[in-house]
């Protein structure tokens, strides 16, 4: 374990010292859901210690989270999977490998307590862990932007295919044959293009009906 005290360690030490002076009960837990009726106050570490000394709450919730490389890697993989990236970026893999030297060290401290009907919270993370979080956040955002860009390109290409097929369908001699309906025109689309043509034939048929109506209306540019 590193001999240098981190912000997470320092916060936990100051909270425990303040709790001892106030004869408060320290509970290893943290509120998971906040009631909408309970105002929340987010404190800096020094303000939290000062307030604890002044108000002496009876119960203090304190959680110290140690660094678990396997858990952090799994969390990172899940975040990147959410943005359609199933392999961690090399920079993230390298950062996670380097962070293994901190295995078992306190990486984040969370604290909460009630005073005058207000829920007060304070948190701190080790500097090295904050840097790791920032790197992963930036990489996830970059991956999200890339995924959005790919989807936009794919959508534009699909729209061009739909438009081309719709124009072909609307011009087909059978498109307006007999007592027409959307389902009959969809059947024609399936017969012309096949069920597995790479686009939604219902969308093709809708576009074709609009194009046919526009043409029949006499509209010209």
Q: The pTM is what? A: 0.68
pLDDT digits (tens, 9 = 90+) for 151-201: 899 889 889 999 999 999 999 999 999 899 999 999 999 999 987 777 899
Band (pLDDT 50/70/90 cuts) for residue 33 is low
Beta carbons within 8 Å of 29's beta carbon, 6+ residues apart:
61, 63
- Domains in the chain: boundaries: 7-148, 154-216
Band (pLDDT 50/70/90 cuts) for residue 84 is confident
pLDDT digits (tens, 9 = 90+) for 87-130: 999 999 999 999 999 999 999 999 999 999 899 999 999 999 99
Please state, for a pLDDT cut of 90, what percent of the chain lies above it.
Answer: 73
| Residue 130 φ then ψ, to 5° | -60, -40
pLDDT at residue 221, as a whole number: 67
Which SS3 state, helix, strand or coil, does residue 92 take? Answer: helix
Average pLDDT of every residue of the chain: 90
DSSP state of 180: -
pLDDT of 1 higher than 70? no
pLDDT at residue 48, as a whole number: 93
pLDDT at residue 3, as a whole number: 40
- Residue 112: how many other CB atoms lie within 10 Å: 23
């Amino acid at each position: 374990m590193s001999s240098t005290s981190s912000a997470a360690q320092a916060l936990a030490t100051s909270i425990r010292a303040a709790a001892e002076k106030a004869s408060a009960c320290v509970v290893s837990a943290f509120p998971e859901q906040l009631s909408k009726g309970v105002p929340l106050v987010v404190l800096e570490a020094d303000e939290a210690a000062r307030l604890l000394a002044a108000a002496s709450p009876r119960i203090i919730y304190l959680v110290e989270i140690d660094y678990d490389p396997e858990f952090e890697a799994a969390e990172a993989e899940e975040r990147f999977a959410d943005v359609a990236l199933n392999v961690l970026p090399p920079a993230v893999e390298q950062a996670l490998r380097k962070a293994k030297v901190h295995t078992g060290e306190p990486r984040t401290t969370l604290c909460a307590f009630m005073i005058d009907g207000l829920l007060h919270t304070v948190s701190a993370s080790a500097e090295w862990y904050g840097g790791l979080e920032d790197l992963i956040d930036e990489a996830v955002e970059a991956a999200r932007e890339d995924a959005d860009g790919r989807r936009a390109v794919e959508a534009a290409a699909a729209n061009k295919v739909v438009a081309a097929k719709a124009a072909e369908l609307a011009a087909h001699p059978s498109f307006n044959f007999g007592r027409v309906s959307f389902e009959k025109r969809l059947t024609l689309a399936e017969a012309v293009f096949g069920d597995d043509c790479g686009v939604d034939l219902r969308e093709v048929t809708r576009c074709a009906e609009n194009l046919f109506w526009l043409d029949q209306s006499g509209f010209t540019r």
